[in-house]
C-alpha cells in the first residue's frame, strides 16, 4: 500500500475568516453551556415542566442522528454488499457520521440534567426503555465509527501503517456491528415517541414509527452523502464523483416511494386519513413535510438531467434534507401536544408554551460550527478523500 503523503499539507492552522466565525460561534456556545452547568437548564432555555424536550432534542438528537446515517449506508454498501466502486465515498461518509455522532453526544451532555452520570446507562439497565437502547447503541456505534475511521488517521503516520492494515483486515465484524447498531437506533428514535400516543398527533403516531424512521433515515443518508460530496468538491476544489452520486440519487426515489406507501397505507389502515385535511396547522405541517421531503425529490430525481449535473444533485439533496428534517421536528416537537395549558395553569411555576431561546439555539449552532471545523481540518490534514485512480492503483 503506497499513499502519496508528500502532497499532504503540513499541519499549520490557517485562520481564514470562516474559521474565525466558526471559532466565535463555538466560544459563544461554550459560555452558554457553562452558564447552564452552573445555574441550571432553566437559566438559558425555555424548557419547562410541560415541555421537557425542545430544540436540543429535535435538532441535535433527531436531526443530528439522521443526517449521520450515510456512514453505515456506505460501509454496508462497500464492505457487506461488496460494491467496491463506492470506495471514494466511504471515508468522507464515515467521517461525517463520526463527527455527527460526536456532536450529538456533546449536545446531549448539555441537555442532560446529570451529564456526569451518562455512564450509568452502561450499568443500570431498564430493558423496557427505548432511550436506554438508543444510549447504548449510540455509545457503541461511536466506538465502531472510531474503529472504522482509525485507519485514515493512522495512515497519516508512516510508522503506524501496520496497525491501520491490521484494522483493515478485521474490519468486517465491525461493519456488520455498525449496520446492526445503526438500524436499531435509527429506528428507535421513532420508537421514542411510541410511549406518547396521547400526546403525539395521530398523523404521526403509528406503531410502525420505527420502520418509518429507518426508511427515511436511508433517504436522508443518501442525500447527505450527495450533499457532503458536493460541498466538499466545491470548497476543497476537488473532483466530484458524479457517476457514483447519480446511482445514489437514483435510489432515493425508490426509498421515498416505499416511505410514502408505508405512510399513507398506515394512515388508511388506522383510519386516520380524515386528519389529513381537518387538523389545521398539523395538516399543513404534514403536507409540507410530504411535499418537500417525499413528493418533490421523487419527481426531481426521476429526471435524468438532475441526477447527472452537480447543481441538480445538490439541489435535490437539499430538498430531501429539508423535508426530512421538518419531519423530525414535527414528530419530536411540533406535533407533540402536552396537556392543555389551561389545566397546567396550576403548575404556575411552569411555562405552558415553548419557544427556544437564543442561548438554546446558540449551543446547537456552536456545536454545529465545531463539527464543520472538525470536518474541514480532517479533510485538509488526513487522507479522507482518495482519488479513484489511486484506489484502483492500490487494488491492482
Partner 1 sequence: MTEIKHHAYLFDATRCIDCRACMVACSVENNIDMDKTRIWVAGIGIKGEYPDLQRGTMVYHCMHCDHPDCMSACPVGAYTKAEDGPVTYNPDLCIGCRYCMNACPFGVPHFDYDKGIIEGAFIDKCTFCPQRIYNGQEPACVETCPTDALEYGDREELIAKAHARIAEHPTRYIDHVYGEFENGGTSYLILSHVPFSELGLPNLPETPVNEVSEKVMEMTIPFALGWGAVLSGVAAGVNLYNKKKEEAATQQKEDAVK
Footprint of partner 1 on 96-125 (CB under 8 A): 112-118, 120-121, 124-125
Ranges within 143-182 binding partner 1 (CB under 8 A): 172, 175-177, 179-180
Q: Does 201 bind partner 1 (CB under 8 A)?
A: no
Ranges within 321-340 binding partner 1 (CB under 8 A): 336, 338-340
d(CA 63, CA 108): 13
Q: Which residues contact 248 (CB under 8 A, 6 or more apart)?
A: 222, 225, 226
Where do the H-state alpha helices sit in 192-303?
209-235, 242-270, 275-278, 281-290, 296-302
Question: With contact defined as beta carbons under 8 Å apart, do 352 and 341 qualify?
Answer: yes
Cell reading at 171? 474490519
Which residues does residue 336 pair with via DSSP β-bridges, in sequence order? Answer: 200
Among 19, 23, 130, 240, binds partner 1 (CB under 8 A): 130
Among 166, 257, 299, 345, binds partner 1 (CB under 8 A): 345
Among 64, 135, 293, 312, binds partner 1 (CB under 8 A): 135
Q: Does 37 bind partner 1 (CB under 8 A)?
A: yes
Nearer of residues 239 and 265 to partner 1, judged by Cβ: 265
Among 20, 21, 24, 40, binds partner 1 (CB under 8 A): 40
Nearer of residues 194 and 377 to partner 1, judged by Cβ: 194
Among 165, 199, 238, 243, binds partner 1 (CB under 8 A): 199
Write down the number of H helices and E strands in the chain: 19, 0
Q: Does 196 bind partner 1 (CB under 8 A)?
A: yes
DSSP codes, 165-197: HHHHHTHHHHHHHHHHHHHHHHHHHHHGGGG-T
Which of 268, 285, 329 lies closest to 66 in space, CA to CA?
A: 329
Nearer of residues 100 and 135 to partner 1, judged by Cβ: 135
Nearer of residues 2 and 124 to partner 1, judged by Cβ: 124
Ranges within 209-228 binding partner 1 (CB under 8 A): 210
Cβ 82 to partner 1 shortest distance, Å: 4
Secondary-structure percent of the chain, ordered helix, strand, coil, rounded to 5: 75, 0, 25
d(CA 378, CA 92): 10
Cβ 61 to partner 1 shortest distance, Å: 11
Interface mask toward partner 1 for 283-302; x: CB under 8 A: --------------------
Cβ 33 to partner 1 shortest distance, Å: 11
d(CA 36, CA 42): 8
Q: Does 353 bind partner 1 (CB under 8 A)?
A: no
d(CA 265, CA 346): 41
Nearer of residues 340 and 387 to partner 1, judged by Cβ: 340
- The distance of Cα 160 from the centroid of its chain, to the nearest Å, equals 31
Cβ 185 to partner 1 shortest distance, Å: 10
Nearer of residues 10 and 124 to partner 1, judged by Cβ: 124
- The distance of Cα 13 from the centroid of its chain, to the nearest Å, equals 28
DSSP codes, 367-379: HHHHHHHHHHHHH
Cβ 7 to partner 1 shortest distance, Å: 31
Which of 105, 123, 65 lies closest to 331 in space, CA to CA?
A: 65
Interface mask toward partner 1 for 63-102; x: CB under 8 A: -------------x--xxxx--------------------
Phi, psi of 45 (to 5 degrees): -120, 170
Q: What number of chain residues touch partner 1 (CB under 8 A)?
A: 72
Nearer of residues 186 and 230 to partner 1, judged by Cβ: 186
Give Cα separations from 332 to 11, 183, 341 (angstroms): 41, 19, 19
Q: Does 17 bind partner 1 (CB under 8 A)?
A: no
Amino acid at each position: 500500500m503506497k499513499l502519496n503523503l508528500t502532497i499532504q499539507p503540513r499541519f499549520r492552522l490557517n485562520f481564514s475568516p470562516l474559521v474565525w466565525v466558526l471559532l466565535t460561534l463555538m466560544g459563544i456556545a461554550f459560555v452558554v453551556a457553562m452558564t447552564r452547568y452552573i445555574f441550571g437548564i432553566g437559566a438559558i432555555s425555555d424548557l419547562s415542566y410541560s415541555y421537557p424536550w425542545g430544540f436540543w432534542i429535535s435538532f441535535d438528537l433527531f436531526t443530528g442522528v439522521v443526517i449521520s446515517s450515510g456512514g453505515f449506508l456506505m460501509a454496508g454498501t462497500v464492505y457487506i454488499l461488496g460494491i467496491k466502486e463506492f470506495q471514494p465515498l466511504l471515508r468522507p461518509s464515515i467521517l461525517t457520521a463520526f463527527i455527527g455522532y460526536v456532536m450529538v453526544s456533546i449536545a446531549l451532555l448539555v441537555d442532560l440534567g446529570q451529564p456526569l452520570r451518562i455512564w450509568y446507562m452502561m450499568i443500570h439497565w431498564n430493558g423496557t426503555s427505548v432511550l436506554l437502547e438508543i444510549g447504548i447503541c449510540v455509545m457503541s456505534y461511536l466506538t465502531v465509527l472510531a474503529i472504522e475511521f482509525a485507519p485514515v488517521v493512522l495512515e497519516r503516520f508512516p510508522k503506524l501503517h501496520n496497525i491501520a492494515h491490521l484494522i483493515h483486515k478485521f474490519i468486517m465484524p465491525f461493519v456488520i456491528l455498525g449496520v446492526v447498531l445503526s438500524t436499531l437506533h435509527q429506528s428507535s428514535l421513532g420508537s421514542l415517541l411510541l410511549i406518547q400516543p396521547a400526546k403525539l398527533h395521530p398523523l404521526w403516531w403509528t406503531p410502525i414509527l420505527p420502520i418509518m424512521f429507518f426508511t427515511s433515515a436511508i433517504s436522508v443518508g443518501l442525500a447527505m452523502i450527495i450533499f457532503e460530496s458536493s460541498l466538499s468538491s466545491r470548497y476543497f476544489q476537488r473532483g466530484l464523483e458524479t457517476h457514483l452520486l447519480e446511482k445514489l440519487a437514483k435510489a432515493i426515489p425508490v426509498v421515498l416511494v416505499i416511505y410514502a406507501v408505508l405512510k399513507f397505507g398506515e394512515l388508511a389502515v388506522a383510519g386516520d386519513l380524515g386528519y389529513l385535511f381537518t387538523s389545521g396547522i398539523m395538516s399543513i405541517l404534514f403536507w409540507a413535510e410530504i411535499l418537500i421531503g417525499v413528493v418533490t425529490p421523487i419527481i426531481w430525481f426521476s429526471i435524468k438531467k438532475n441526477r447527472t449535473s452537480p447543481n441538480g444533485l445538490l439541489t435535490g439533496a437539499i430538498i430531501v434534507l429539508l423535508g426530512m428534517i421538518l419531519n423530525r421536528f414535527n414528530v419530536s416537537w411540533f406535533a407533540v401536544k402536552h396537556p392543555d395549558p389551561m389545566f397546567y395553569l396550576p403548575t404556575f411555576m411552569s411555562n405552558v408554551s415553548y419557544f427556544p431561546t437564543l442561548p438554546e439555539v446558540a449551543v446547537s449552532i456552536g456545536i454545529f460550527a465545531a463539527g464543520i471545523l472538525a470536518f474541514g481540518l480532517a479533510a485538509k490534514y488526513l487522507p479522507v478523500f482518495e482519488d479513484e485512480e489511486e484506489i484502483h492503483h492500490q487494488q491492482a
